[in-house]
A and B are shown apart, each in its own frame.
Chain A
Amino acid sequence: MNFSRSDYPFLGFGVGLRRPHYILISESHPKIDWLEVIAENFMVQGGRPLHVLEKVRDQYPIALHGVSLSIGSADPLNFAYLRDLVQLIRRFEPAWISDHLCWTSIAGRNSHDLLPLPYTDETVSHVAQRVRVVQETLGRPLLLENVSSYMSYAESTLTEWQFLTAVSEEADCGILLDVNNVFVSAFNHGFSAESYIDAIPVKRVAQFHLAGHSDFGRYLLDTHDHPICDAVWALYERAVARFGPVSTLIEWDDNIPEFPVLAAAAEDARAKHHRIMELREVGIPKQIERPAETDLPTHHRA
């Protein structure tokens, strides 16, 4: 199972398919390049969700995005879950499948949260071996997404970007780079978001996520309930400058606005992407090649 970024089409600028927009998207087909679908929401026997997804799939490219693979868990892989995922893949033929570089369950219990892993060589081996099994089971490479985190482990010996890179190289999988998650974790742990972006291998990144977060003063929370802030947009521009054309998706999971607001955010991403790509074509200006560190409000500084 070999990952090659060239196998991943540039789908353009999409949004997450969420329940308040099911009817609009499945019946009115608003203009949007593509949709990302939370896999677990469709692991049901029947009913409206699957019917909606069939109609959506007729009109749009989709990607399946999981939240419960628990790829970093010390528990054995959940093959019943993988069977459900395979069924969805066969039925809906997504452009790709992604999940998170984290653990969600242990001892058969599920936290329903994306918990960070210790960044060690041992964890790299553990996760990479499991990713290879998952990829064999699914019959295709997986994209792993960096999570927002609020804690780290004393035993970590690698930076988060070294860890993400090492897992993707050893497992030969792709990366879904969540730009907002980089920003949130950088703030919460006091590292440079720009250094993170600059260290991720270009050949591994097949998708971007963008989202809004909540600012609680001493920390940022990845709530997906706000518009994308300027600092995250700036980081996105830096990512586009580095990684080139990468399918981009706007996530919004709480206080979900009317669809046109989401579609407008996707268009904002398109405009920024086009601007940076044009600059790339004529030669990358210094401010894009090496922009200043993301300027945080003073209360964000440690």
Chain B
Amino acid sequence: MSDLQRLIYRLITAPEGVEANARCGRGIGLEGIAAIVPGDGRLDSLERLDIYATAYFYRLLNCLKEDYPTTLAVLSEDRFEKLVRDYLAAHPPTKPSIQHAGKALPGYLRGHCYGIEQPYLEDLARLERSIIDVFHGADAIPIERKNLESISPARWPTMQIRTLPSVTILDCKWRVGKLLRAAAEGEPRALPEQAQVSVLVWRQHFTVYHREIEQSEACLLKLAEEPVAFARLCEEVSRTTDENDPVARIGKLLERWLADGLLTAVLPGG
């Protein structure tokens, strides 16, 4: 059974196609196929296997098109199809849910000829993937301003805050957030500017948002990926900001984070 299933899997997933795989040096040969999967007057053995081979590739291609719509728009249909064919040969799906099938595409692009030609594609695909992952990320109840106001000022320094588990920060070499917005407005071919930027991706009321943030804000949010004392965040602001008033700076950031629903698990200190 195992040998049979491995053979069928190899034939229907072969990037070169069923017939070429069967005919290759280590292939089973057309007669070998016919001895296992018989044909008849309606369809011969190859045609029958080709139905599965076509379904395998196009099912996954359509899934990846949905996952990476802007990468698709930038590359165009033909090049995206070639990318997916190459990608599936290198990263065949291993998870029961097809939603995971395209997970490794951003990393794969780094070494692929299209990713080398257009080096921003990796960042673009990473952002598109993050949007999906944040969309399906673990639920948590964000805190609101009133939750913080109920905590006495004396306890703020030891108060623990953290970001929601779905909050993600990407460090990018290209301003791909702008490209994504341009694509949404029908301009996917605008070349993104090369710049070290951090992109915050988060979910609020089941809608996923993204925006560029300063490096200093990214550092603070990364610190808060695990529960962190508010005093520790203030120290970090003092250390990294040029502003004269670090308290005002953290206050402003806190306001924004609360408005965006980024924070949860506030544990009042002792």
A residues whose Cβ falls under 8 Å from a Cβ of B: 40-41, 43-51, 68, 70, 73-75, 78, 81, 103-113, 115, 118, 122-123, 126, 150-155, 188, 190, 218-219, 221, 302
The yes or no answer to B256 lying at the interface (CB within 8 A) is: no
Cα distance A107–B93 when bound, in Å? 11
Interchain CB contact under 8 A, A106 and B9: yes
Cα distance A49–B206 when bound, in Å? 9
| Option from B2, B42, B101 in Cβ contact (under 8 Å) with A218 | B42
Interchain CB contact under 8 A, A151 and B49: yes
The yes or no answer to B92 lying at the interface (CB within 8 A) is: yes
Interchain CB contact under 8 A, B38 and A154: yes
| Option from A48, A73, A109, A190 in Cβ contact (under 8 Å) with B93 | A109
The yes or no answer to B248 lying at the interface (CB within 8 A) is: no
In the assembled complex, how far is the CB of residue A122 from the closest CB belonging to chain B, in whole angstroms? Answer: 8
Interchain CB contact under 8 A, B43 and A190: no
Interchain CB contact under 8 A, B13 and A150: no
Interchain CB contact under 8 A, A48 and B6: no
Cα distance A45–B52 when bound, in Å? 31
Cα distance A43–B55 when bound, in Å? 23
Interchain CB contact under 8 A, A106 and B5: yes
| Option from A49, A103, A219 in Cβ contact (under 8 Å) with B5 | A103
Cα distance A40–B97 when bound, in Å? 5
Interchain CB contact under 8 A, B59 and A68: no
- Would you mind naming 27 contact pairs between A and B with Cβ atoms under 8 Å apart? A40-B96, A40-B99, A43-B97, A45-B166, A46-B136, A46-B166, A49-B136, A68-B97, A74-B2, A74-B5, A107-B6, A109-B9, A109-B92, A109-B93, A110-B94, A111-B9, A118-B4, A123-B1, A126-B1, A151-B37, A151-B45, A152-B38, A153-B38, A154-B35, A190-B40, A190-B42, A219-B42
Residues of B contacting A49 in the complex (Cβ-Cβ under 8 angstroms): 136
Chain B, 85-138, CB within 8 A of any chain A CB: 92-99, 101, 135-138
In the assembled complex, how far is the CB of residue B96 from the closest CB belonging to chain A, in whole angstroms? Answer: 3
The yes or no answer to B267 lying at the interface (CB within 8 A) is: no
Interchain CB contact under 8 A, A46 and B137: yes
Known interface pairs A46-B140, A302-B41; 18 further A-B residue pairs with C-beta atoms within 8 A, sorted by A's residue number: A40-B99, A45-B166, A46-B136, A68-B97, A70-B96, A104-B96, A106-B9, A110-B96, A111-B93, A112-B59, A118-B1, A150-B52, A151-B49, A154-B36, A154-B37, A188-B42, A188-B43, A219-B51
Cα distance A111–B1 when bound, in Å? 16
Cα distance A95–B253 when bound, in Å? 48
Contact of A44 with B37 at beta-carbon distance under 8 Å, contacts A150-B43, A150-B48 already known = no
Q: Which of B6, B8, B56 has the most CB of A within 10 A?
A: B8
The yes or no answer to B60 lying at the interface (CB within 8 A) is: yes
| Option from A81, A152, A302 in Cβ contact (under 8 Å) with B96 | A81
Interchain CB contact under 8 A, B2 and A151: no
Cα distance A12–B45 when bound, in Å? 41
Cα distance A75–B94 when bound, in Å? 12
B residues whose Cβ falls under 8 Å from a Cβ of A: 1-2, 4-6, 8-9, 12-13, 35-38, 40-43, 45, 48-49, 51-52, 55-56, 59-60, 92-99, 101, 135-140, 165-166, 203, 206
Interchain CB contact under 8 A, B52 and A115: yes
- Nearest residue (CB) in A for B207 is A48
Contact of A111 with B42 at beta-carbon distance under 8 Å, contacts A45-B137, A151-B49 already known = no
In the assembled complex, how far is the CB of residue A41 from the closest CB belonging to chain B, in whole angstroms? Answer: 8
Residues of B contacting A75 in the complex (Cβ-Cβ under 8 angstroms): 2
Residues of A contacting B138 in the complex (Cβ-Cβ under 8 angstroms): 45-46
Interchain CB contact under 8 A, A108 and B8: no
Contact of A46 with B56 at beta-carbon distance under 8 Å, contacts A107-B9, A110-B95, A112-B93 already known = no
Report the 7 A-B pairs with minimum CB-CB distance, sorted nearest first.
A68-B96, A46-B139, A74-B2, A44-B136, A151-B48, A48-B206, A45-B138
- Nearest residue (CB) in A for B51 is A150
Interchain CB contact under 8 A, B96 and A43: yes
| Option from A51, A106, A113, A150 in Cβ contact (under 8 Å) with B2 | A106
Cα distance A10–B136 when bound, in Å? 33
In the assembled complex, how far is the CB of residue B22 from the closest CB belonging to chain A, in whole angstroms? Answer: 14
Residues of A contacting B5 in the complex (Cβ-Cβ under 8 angstroms): 73-74, 103, 106, 115
Interchain CB contact under 8 A, B203 and A47: yes
Interchain CB contact under 8 A, A111 and B139: no
Residues of B contacting A46 in the complex (Cβ-Cβ under 8 angstroms): 136-140, 166
Cα distance A122–B37 when bound, in Å? 18
Contact of A151 with B98 at beta-carbon distance under 8 Å, contacts A47-B135, A109-B92 already known = no
Residues of A contacting B41 in the complex (Cβ-Cβ under 8 angstroms): 302
Cα distance A70–B97 when bound, in Å? 12
Residues of B contacting A115 in the complex (Cβ-Cβ under 8 angstroms): 5, 8, 52
Interchain CB contact under 8 A, A47 and B93: no
Cα distance A155–B7 when bound, in Å? 15
Residues of A contacting B56 in the complex (Cβ-Cβ under 8 angstroms): 111-113
Interchain CB contact under 8 A, B101 and A112: yes
Cα distance A123–B4 when bound, in Å? 12
- Nearest residue (CB) in A for B5 is A106
- Nearest residue (CB) in B for A219 is B43
Residues of B contacting A45 in the complex (Cβ-Cβ under 8 angstroms): 136-139, 165-166
Residues of B contacting A150 in the complex (Cβ-Cβ under 8 angstroms): 43, 48, 51-52
